[in-house]
Structure formats: C-alpha cells, structure tokens
Amino acid sequence: MKHRMPPEFTVIRDDERCIRCRVCENQCSFKVHNYDEEEDRVLEDNHKCVGCHRCETLCPTKAIKIRRN
C-alpha cells in the first residue's frame, strides 16, 4: 500500500538484538509487526504504529525503539 504522508511514528528494530520471540507481533493490537518466515525477520508497518510503546516496553532484549517523526 502506498502512503502519501510519512508515518507519525517509526519502529526502529536492532536486528542483532532481536531473538524472533514475536512478543511484539503477538501483543500489538494494530498489527504493526509481522514475522517473515522466509527472511527469519520481524518486519514492521510504520504507518500502523500509534506510538503506544507496548512493543518497546515488552521486548525482552530491548531491540525496539519507537520514535516520533
């Protein structure tokens, strides 16, 4: 999906710290995070992020930061 406006928030994930536990994906009501099995990575859709910081708070390795654009 193409967006004309930049996202209000950006999810910054440190891929080296991410252990693919998928806590972020499982707790997010807005479906921001999505595990890609082929790439073995958790991807994000910044346009869905509302800046609640739940993923940042619950990430066991502190691999996620949320920044306002």
What digits encode the pLDDT tens for the residues 45-55? 999 999 999 99
Question: Is position 19 within any domain?
Answer: yes
Could you give the number of structural domains in the chain? Answer: 1
Query: How distant is the alpha carbon of residue 12 from its chain centre?
Result: 7
Query: How distant is the alpha carbon of residue 64 from its chain centre?
Result: 7
Give the domain range for residue 61.
9-68
Q: Measured between alpha carbons, how far is 31 from 47 in angstroms, rounded to an integer?
A: 10
pLDDT of residue 1: 59
Strands in 4-61 per DSSP E: 9-13, 33-36, 41-44
Query: How distant is the alpha carbon of residue 41 from its chain centre?
Result: 11
pLDDT of residue 4: 82
- The pTM for the full model equals 0.88
Question: Is position 1 within any domain?
Answer: no
Question: Which residues of the chain fall short of a pLDDT of 50?
Answer: none
Give, for 66, the enclosing helix (H) or strand (E).
Answer: strand 64-68
